[in-house]
């Protein structure tokens, strides 16, 4: 088991140091356990419907303060609120996954936000890099 200091930095077995300081990194991904997938998706859908209902009834700011963050501006764009809802659920269910560019091992977080990682090594060297988006190829 590997532990990331401050949730952002850890050294791999091969000696490569990974620093997680930004998104859209080619060796970074996420995983949602199959048992959590429906709860994750329905949780987002239910909260989006709840927000739309609050807007329809004129209670948008009260809803934001209760459900998201009391410091969010009442004039925030709807797409930003949608992203905030998705991010809130990601924190509860998504496991971070990192792929070492040196040894091709995968490091999968044991529980969401735990910063503890289990290490797996592929038997198939041709699959590297597995976390790189097809959009970027």
Domain ranges (residues) in the chain: 2-32+95-136, 34-92
Is-contact 3 18, C-beta < 8 A?
no
> How far lies 39's CA from each of 81, 82, 93, in Å?
20, 17, 9
- 91-95: long-range contacts, CB 8 A cutoff, minimum separation 24: 92/40, 92/43, 93/32, 93/33, 93/36, 93/39, 93/40, 94/30, 94/31, 94/32, 95/30, 95/31, 95/32, 95/33
Q: How confident is the model over 97-115, as a mean pLDDT?
A: 87
So what's the pLDDT on residue 88?
Answer: 92
pLDDT one-digit tens code per residue, 18-30:
666 666 677 888 9
Q: Per-residue pLDDT for 135 more than 80?
A: no
| Res 76 pLDDT > 80 | yes
More confident residue, 112 or 103: 112
Residues in the chain: 137
- How confident is the model over 50-69, as a mean pLDDT? 93
Across all residues in the chain, what is the average pLDDT? 84
Strand, coil or helix: what is 2?
Answer: strand
Give the single-character DSSP code of 112: T
pTM of the complete model: 0.77
């Amino acid at each position: 088991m590997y532990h990331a200091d401050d949730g952002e930095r850890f050294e791999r077995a091969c000696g490569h140091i990974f620093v997680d300081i930004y998104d859209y990194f080619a060796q970074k991904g996420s995983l949602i356990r199959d048992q959590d997938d429906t709860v994750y998706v329905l949780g987002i859908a239910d909260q989006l419907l709840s927000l739309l209902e609050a807007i329809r009834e004129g209670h948008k700011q009260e809803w934001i303060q209760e459900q998201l963050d009391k410091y969010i501006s009442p004039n925030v764009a709807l797409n930003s609120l949608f992203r905030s809802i998705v991010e809130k659920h990601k924190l509860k269910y998504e496991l971070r996954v990192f792929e070492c560019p040196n040894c091709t091992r995968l490091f999968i977080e044991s529980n969401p936000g735990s910063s503890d990682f289990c290490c797996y090594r592929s038997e198939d060297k041709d699959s590297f890099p597995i976390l790189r988006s097809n959009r970027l190829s």
